[in-house]
Amino acid sequence: MATNSHTEQPSGHKGAFPPFNPTTFASQLFWLVIAFVVLYVLMAKVALPRVGSIIENRQKRISDDLASAASLKAESDAAIAAYEKALADARARAQAIANETRDTQTAAAEVSRKKLEGELNAKLADAEKTIAATKTAAMANVRGIAAEATKAIVERLTGKAPDDSAVDAAVSASLKG
């Protein structure tokens, strides 16, 4: 299959493509220079100053934001330092209060212990006196009971009541030994 490389031209036009036509080069260059100068003037006088002012505004806003961020960071650092100092002071006060409370309670416990110890010593002395009195009374009763029991035993064994002085001497001898 063969392709036809022949290009048909519309009727009424003869010659080459207009930009490549050597007879129109001068006018094309003239209009190119005019268009370039107009575009250059528009860019230099209108578009570039606007772009420059936008860039300057953005740069100023960025530097202001950075300065604001730095000042806020300094404020937050100061607040953190103040918080940490307040926290350390609170801990120190709490420790001092705890120590003071512990010392107060220890002193109160010592006073209470001494008071209870004194009361217990007094009760113990009273109890010892009561025990001694009861022992003395019991010993006196024991002597009488022992004398009566000895008398009753001797009387039952011998059938005759013994002499009170002999019973007292025998009971005294047995209680001492």
For 6-23, what is each residue's pLDDT tens digit?
555 555 556 677 777 788
> CA 158 to CA 153: how far, in whole Å?
8
| Per-residue CA distances from 52 to 56, 60, 77 (Å) | 6, 12, 37
Close Cβ partners of 171 (under 8 Å, ≥ 6 residues apart) = 143, 146, 147, 150
Close Cβ partners of 155 (under 8 Å, ≥ 6 residues apart) = 161, 162
pLDDT score for 17: 75
For every residue of the chain, which 3-state class applies, written as one string?
CCCCCCCCCCCCCCCCCHHHCHHHHHHHHHHHHHHHHHHHHHHHHHHHHHHHHHHHHHHHHHHHHHHHHHHHHHHHHHHHHHHHHHHHHHHHHHHHHHHHHHHHHHHHHHHHHHHHHHHHHHHHHHHHHHHHHHHHHHHHHHHHHHHHHHHHHHHHHHCCCCCHHHHHHHHHHHHHC
Give the pLDDT confidence of 66-103 residue by residue, as tens digits: 999 999 999 999 999 999 999 999 999 999 999 999 99
In this structure, which amino acid lies at residue 147? A
Rounded mean pLDDT, 134-163: 81
In this structure, are residues 171 and 146 in contact, taking their beta carbons and an 8 Å threshold? yes
Closest CA to 150 of 128, 126, 127, 167: 167
Give the pLDDT confidence of 35-68 residue by residue, as tens digits: 999 999 999 999 899 999 999 999 999 999 999 9
